[in-house]
Chain A
Amino acid sequence: MAEAKPKPKLQKEAVQMPKQKPEVRRHNFVEVAIGYSEEQALAEANRCLQCPKPKCVSGCPVEVEIPAFIKFIREGNYDASVKKVKEKNSLPAVCGRVCPQEEQCQKQCVVGKAGDPISIGRLERFVADWERQRGIDPPKKPAPTGRKVAIIGAGPAGVTAAADLAKLGHEVVMFEALHLPGGVLMYGIPEFRLPKSIVQAEIDYVKKLGVEVRVDSLVGRTYTIPELMKKGFDAVFVGTGAGLPMFMKIPGENLGGVYSANEFLIRVNLMKSYEFPNYDTPIRIGKHVAVIGGGNVAMDSARCALRLGAEEVCIVYRRSREEMPARLEEIENAEEEGIVCKFLANPVRFIGDEKGWVKAMECICMELGPPDESGRRRPVPIKGSEFVMDIDSAIVAIGRTPNPIIQRTTEGLQVTKYGTIVADENGKTSIECVYAGGDIVTGEATVISAMGAGKKAARAIHEYLMKKPK
Chain B
Amino acid sequence: MPEIVSLRELAPKIKLFEVKAPEISDKAKPGQFIIMVTEEKGERIPLTIADIDSEKGTISFVFNEVGKTTKQLGHFKKGDIIPNVLGPLGTPSEIKNFGRVLCVAGGVMIGPMLLQVRALCQAGNRVTTVIGARIKKLLFFEDEMKTASHKFYVATDDGSEGYSGLGFLKDVVSKEKFDRCVAMGPVVMMKSVCEYTKPVGIPTVVTLMPIMVDGMGMCGACRVTVGGETKFGCVDGPEFNGHLVDFDELTKRQRMFLPEERLSSLLWEKVGGEVFG
Chain B's nearest CB lies how many Å from the CB of A260?
Answer: 4
Instruction: Give residues 209-265 of B contacting A (CB, 8 Å).
Output: 213-214, 216-221, 223-225, 230, 249, 252-253, 255-257, 260-261, 263-264
Q: A275–B249 Cα gap in the complex (Å)?
A: 29
Chain B's nearest CB lies how many Å from the CB of A292?
Answer: 14
User: Does B147 make an interface contact (CB < 8 A)?
Assistant: no
Q: A179-B44, A276-B260, A277-B260 are in contact. Are A256 and B219 (CB under 8 A)?
A: no
Chain B's nearest CB lies how many Å from the CB of A212?
Answer: 15
In the complex, which residues of chain B have a beta carbon less than 8 angstroms from the beta carbon of A65?
Answer: none
A356 to B220, Cβ gap below 8 A? no
User: Does B166 make an interface contact (CB < 8 A)?
Assistant: no
User: Does A301 make an interface contact (CB < 8 A)?
Assistant: no
Out of B214, B217, B253, name the residue touching A356 (CB < 8 Å): B253
Q: A254-B253, A271-B213 are in contact. Are A179 and B218 (CB under 8 A)?
A: no
A244 to B86, Cβ gap below 8 A? no
In the complex, which residues of chain A have a beta carbon less than 8 angstroms from the beta carbon of B219?
Answer: 245, 260, 262-263, 266-267
Q: A342–B131 Cα gap in the complex (Å)?
A: 54
Q: A407–B152 Cα gap in the complex (Å)?
A: 43
Interface string of B57-77 (1 = CB under 8 A from A): 000000000001100000000
For A, the interface residue count at a CB cutoff of 8 angstroms equals 43
From B7-15, B35-43, B93-101, B194-202, give the one contacting chain A.
B35-43
Chain A's nearest CB lies how many Å from the CB of B272?
Answer: 10
For B, the interface residue count at a CB cutoff of 8 angstroms equals 40
In the complex, which residues of chain A have a beta carbon less than 8 angstroms from the beta carbon of B255?
Answer: 256, 355-356
Out of A222, A284, A356, name the residue touching B260 (CB < 8 Å): A284
Out of B43, B68, B84, B213, name the residue touching A216 (CB < 8 Å): B84
In the complex, which residues of chain A have a beta carbon less than 8 angstroms from the beta carbon of B27?
Answer: 221-223
Q: A247–B220 Cα gap in the complex (Å)?
A: 9
User: Does A281 make an interface contact (CB < 8 A)?
Assistant: yes
Chain A's nearest CB lies how many Å from the CB of B65?
Answer: 15
A403 to B218, Cβ gap below 8 A? yes
Q: A216–B83 Cα gap in the complex (Å)?
A: 10
Chain B's nearest CB lies how many Å from the CB of A56?
Answer: 35
6 A–B pairs (Cβ distance < 8 Å), ordered by A:
A222-B87, A245-B219, A257-B256, A282-B264, A284-B256, A405-B216
> Apart from A221-B87, A284-B256, what 12 extra A-B contacts exist at CB < 8 Å?
A179-B83, A216-B85, A243-B218, A253-B230, A254-B225, A254-B249, A256-B252, A262-B219, A278-B41, A355-B255, A356-B253, A404-B217
Chain B residues packing against A (C-beta within 8 Å) = 23-24, 27, 37, 41-44, 68-69, 83-89, 213-214, 216-221, 223-225, 230, 249, 252-253, 255-257, 260-261, 263-264, 267
